Amino acid sequence: MSGRLFIVGLGPGDASLQTPRAAEVLAQATDVLGYIPYVARVPERAGLVRHLTDNREEISRARHALALAQAGRTPAVVSSGDPGVFAMASAVFEAIEAGDPAWREIEVEVIPGVSAMFAAAARLGAPLGHDFCALSLSDNLKPWEVVLERLTAAARAGFVIALYNPISKARPWQLGAAFERLREILAPETPIAFARAVSRADERLLTTDLAQARPQDADMSSLVLIGSAQTRRIERPDGRSWLYTRRSLEAAS
């Protein structure tokens, strides 16, 4: 009995952006494990056991799921967006590598999802339309110097940057420090977007520029997108605008 485990991306929030494959495997699961608001997005069903945990407990949650699979149950570990992007998939494989060798026999299926980053970009236009990177601003798992080095390298090289985990109560100053560093590298008019809870009822989008970007416009549920020199704002007659990044380095005609 080798066991089976699903790692499921629920998409950004709206049910119309969740894949049919995610729904299929959630219908087969005996247990669903994840951060409280994500588990809450899985429909209740007789016989489905829900294990809700805080968002700091990735490794213990991963071990719990692996033990359930080993015991013959079919657990699904759920993440918002795509489970491979700053989410549960990496934690599960980390637990496998360090854990019971029998866990390597478990059939693990990772179900990709529409990531928060791409849902946010779609709402804004096409800001990730050319070379880009995704960078976690959290210094819980890497030193702040490394975060800053990566941010600097990406901005200097011309990548658009999607900042994950930009701010929290425990990390209040890092986003401000990141903007300070970016102001030394990029033009003041570089477009910046704050995207919160995209496709959910409490969605909030704000577009500004690097000169005016303020850390307090982000919260724990936000992504911050940093444009490159090729990122353009298209003004519309009704006052709205689109952001997109040109595919080429030539200036616009």
Report 108-127 residues binding a copy of itself (CB under 8 A): 108, 110-115, 118-119, 121-123, 125-127
Query: Are the beta carbons of 190 and 231 closer than 8 angstroms?
Result: yes
Of 18-47, binders to a copy of itself (CB under 8 A) are 18-21, 24
One of 29, 62, 135, 226 touching a copy of itself (CB under 8 A): 135
Residue 15 makes contact with a copy of itself by CB under 8 A: yes
* CB closer to a copy of itself, 108 vs 192: 108
Query: Are the beta carbons of 162 and 151 closer than 8 angstroms?
Result: no
- Which token pair is 105? 């026999």
* Residue 206 Cβ vs a copy of itself, minimum distance, rounded to whole Å: 18
Of 84-113, binders to a copy of itself (CB under 8 A) are 84-86, 89-94, 96-98, 104-105, 108, 110-113
Residue 184 makes contact with a copy of itself by CB under 8 A: no
* Residue 223 Cβ vs a copy of itself, minimum distance, rounded to whole Å: 13
Measured distance CA(140)–CA(143) in Å, rounded: 7
Q: Which residues contact 107 (CB under 8 A, 6 or more apart)?
A: 2, 3, 4, 5
Segment contacting a copy of itself by CB under 8 A, of 29-37, 43-51, 62-70, 155-163: 155-163
One of 34, 64, 82, 190 touching a copy of itself (CB under 8 A): 82
Residue 227 makes contact with a copy of itself by CB under 8 A: no
Residue 158 makes contact with a copy of itself by CB under 8 A: yes
* CB closer to a copy of itself, 11 vs 215: 11
Query: Are the beta carbons of 19 and 113 closer than 8 angstroms?
Result: yes
Residue 204 makes contact with a copy of itself by CB under 8 A: no
Q: Which residues contact 171 (CB under 8 A, 6 or more apart)?
A: 137, 138, 139, 140, 165
How long is the chain? 253
Query: Are the beta carbons of 136 and 103 closer than 8 angstroms?
Result: no
Q: Identify the bridge partners of residue 35 per DSSP, sorted by sequence position.
A: 53
* CB closer to a copy of itself, 47 vs 101: 101
Query: Are the beta carbons of 117 and 128 closer than 8 angstroms?
Result: yes
Query: Are the beta carbons of 173 and 204 closer than 8 angstroms?
Result: no
